[in-house]
Each structure stands twice: as C-alpha cells, then as structure tokens.
Copies of this chain bind each other. A is one copy, B any other.
Amino acid sequence: MTSRPPRPRERGIPEATVARLPVYLRALQALQDRGTLTVSSEALASAAGVNSAKLRKDLSHLGSYGTRGVGYEVEYLVYQISRELGLTQDWAVAIAGIGNLGRALANYGGFGTRGFRIAALLDADPAMVGQSVASLDVRHIDNLEDVVRSTGVSIGVITTPAASAQGVATRFVQAGVASILNFAPVVLNVPDGVDVRKVDLSIELQILAFHAQRRADGDGRDAERAGLELM
C-alpha cells in the first residue's frame, strides 16, 4: 500500500493508553481519599505500576494538565480522565445469564461507584425468571429487546454458557447494544462497529501456567541451557 487514503486520523488516543486510564483513575481516587492534592508523574506512575515516562505520555494525549515543577492536581485530573472515559455519564448495563457468575456480578457493589448501573438481569431458565437478585427482577431472555429499550441499556454482559453466548450477543446487537463484555469462552462474531471485550479466566490461568513452566524448566540450569540451545 503506497498512498494510504487520506485517513482523517481522528483525534486518536492510542488503545494502549485507553486501557491504562482506568488504572490511573483508580490510583488517583485512592490519593484523593487520602486527601492528597497534587501528585507527580513519578508518584502516580509508581502507584499505578507503570513507568513514569509512559504515564506522562499517556496523560499528554488528553491535554496538558500538569504543572512543571509541581505535578498534577489530583482532583482536576480525576475529572479529566473521567470525562475522557465517558464516566461523567451514566451507563445502563444488562447481564444475561444469571448463574454463578452472573449473580456474583449482579451482587457486586463496585460498579455503581463509577458510572455503571446494573439495569436488567436476563435468563432463559423459567425457574430463574421472576426471582429477585440484587433487588432486580430477573426477566426472560425473550424480552431482551423490550428490556433494552425500556431501560436504556447500552452495555451488555454475557455470562451464559458458551453454547448460548453467540445467540445472546446477536440479540444484543440487534437491539442496539454496541458494547459487549463476554465471559463465555467463545469467540463472538459481531458486525463492524460493535465493540466486544472478553474476560477469560481459563486463558489467564493458561498464560500463568506457561510462565510457571518456563521458570520451572530453567531453574538452576537456566543460563547453561539457554546458552547451549542456541548453538
């Protein structure tokens, strides 16, 4: 490809940066709770577990919110990041699949604190429908479209068994939900423009196992083996 079409190059915050903003936000809120007024990139970076140059570059994408010689004003930065992430508005979330995991999520208090409100619970099991979980009635999945429309849901969380996940995802999309968080161990197929993120515990464990095995293989004879094997 030589002449790359004009590519309007939307005001872009790099994806890697977006993924770290919530981490900074949390660290900042902890500082705020402790009454700290300003913080240096060094201190905030250390609280967030990243390199300070990276932190500064990340924040520079949002604008110039620091003061040289001083640092960043905590409260102002909290506001700027919140705004950038869209947390100054309220997001209604629906959870589909009220089993072990769905119930844990529904009962979890930590979401409401940050702009997310669980607005609907959906399940296919007639025995489940009508029950009250975390002060919400579980509705039948067949009512998905209605529920989404009437409660203004814009984020869908899928905690159904793997076999049902694609179907639920498709229905979410058809109902106008363009942001999906998927816990089922399947690759979801959705149209362009729909944003799917997955949380997959099995995968995380497998990655841990890979590194653990690496460590175990090498222990003691690491240097020698690595050296030899390259010859």
Contacts and interface: CB of A to CB of B under 8 A. Distances in A.
B8 A230 contact: yes
A100 B104 contact: yes
Interface residues of A: mostly helix, strand, loop or mixed? helix
Copies in the complex: 2
A87 B227 contact: no
A193 B212 CA distance: 10
Give the 8 A-B CB pairs with smallest separation, nearest first: A86-B213, A8-B226, A100-B104, A179-B208, A49-B187, A22-B206, A86-B209, A22-B203
Interface of A: 5-6, 8-11, 18-19, 21-23, 25-27, 47-49, 84-87, 89, 91, 93, 100-101, 103-105, 107-108, 110-111, 114-116, 154-155, 178-181, 185, 187, 189, 193, 195, 197, 199-215, 218, 222-223, 226-227, 229-230
